[in-house]
Amino acid sequence: MLRRRSVQWMAAAAAVVFVVLGGLSFRSHSSHPRGKSDPWWLGPPSAWAAEVNAALSQAGIKGVTCREQILHVAADGSTHMSSTWNKFYVSKDSYRRDIYDGDVLREFQWYIPDAKGLTTFTSVRFDTRTYYTAGPGTGSFGDADPIERMRFYVNLIDKADRMLGTQSIEGRPCVGFEIRASKYGNNPDTRVDRIWFDTQTKLPVRIEAAGLPVTGDPSLTTTWIQDQFDYNPVLPADTFTPQIPEGFTFNARPDELRAKMQESAK
């Protein structure tokens, strides 16, 4: 993807077994006040949001990295994980996306503000040895301040349809909630979002958006998965500085470049 969709903190591997507490909804759950010895996630929705928002503020997060994958789900329930996946590097006002095909790095994408705060877009593709740049205001930085981005989901807790049971994710004890995305924004009725928090740090560990329709194929849906979060990672100083490798061609069409490469190889 050469253009940035508004990244949403989502995902969901169908292979993950969700331990739902009897389909317990937050609204019914909120009628039972949390006892002093009860875990924080057994409180009402408003208390959940307060706990997580406080943890986000205290963490002093300046940057986040995570992985994003796409799971294809057929009508019969069979699944296939796309070989293309992304790694995101997000700061308060910039982000970089590294796109991989399997283990091979295919592309870098940078979304960086200029002196006036308008986002610029730069892409470098290694498979076609091309680069592309777009001027101020043409990029779309949907992942603004990482704290505010996370709070968007946290503030949906009161609208959640059900609480997801505790389970271990990436070796961390987690608890989560599920919400039909049609409750906010212009989202398809089939989409369901889930987010899990570390029960100790209260920070997001896994975010999912399941049931996304595929244009032209009603038998197929996709699930976007974001996991492997690292908060306040130590990043090189040039992480958000676009770099064009020597010899790369500006905005050249991939098919034309491949033809030239094949011709020169004869």
Q: Mean pLDDT: which of 33-47, 146-160, 185-199, 220-234 is highest?
A: 220-234
Please state, for a pLDDT cut of 90, what percent of the chain lies above it.
Answer: 36
Is the separation of the CB atoms in 216 and 61 below 8 Å? Answer: no
CA–CA dist 95, 63 (Å, integer) = 9
Tell me the per-residue pLDDT of 198-252, one tens digit each, with 9 for 90 and over.
999 988 899 999 999 888 888 899 999 999 999 888 889 899 999 999 999 997 5
Instruction: Name which residue leads in pLDDT, 193 or 143.
Output: 193
Instruction: Identify the pLDDT of residue 1.
Output: 36
pLDDT band at 35 (very low <50, low <70, confident <90, very high): low
Over 50: is that where the pLDDT of 6 sits?
no
Exposed (0-12), middle (13-18) or buried (19+): which is 192, by Cβ within 10 Å? Answer: buried
Over 70: is that where the pLDDT of 137 sits?
no
User: Which residue in 119, 135, 137, 124 sits closest to 98, CA to CA?
Assistant: 124
Over 50: is that where the pLDDT of 12 sits?
no
CA–CA dist 163, 32 (Å, integer) = 14
Over 50: is that where the pLDDT of 124 sits?
yes
Instruction: Identify the pLDDT of residue 163.
Output: 83
Tell me the per-residue pLDDT of 40-80, one tens digit each, with 9 for 90 and over.
887 777 787 888 888 888 877 888 899 999 999 998 999 99
Pairing of strands 217-231, 63-74: antiparallel
Instruction: Identify the pLDDT of residue 154.
Output: 77
Tell me the per-residue pLDDT of 246-265, one tens digit each, with 9 for 90 and over.
999 997 555 555 565 555 54
Instruction: Identify the pLDDT of residue 247.
Output: 94
Instruction: Identify the pLDDT of residue 106.
Output: 96
Is the separation of the CB atoms in 10 and 208 below 8 Å? Answer: yes
CA–CA dist 198, 168 (Å, integer) = 9
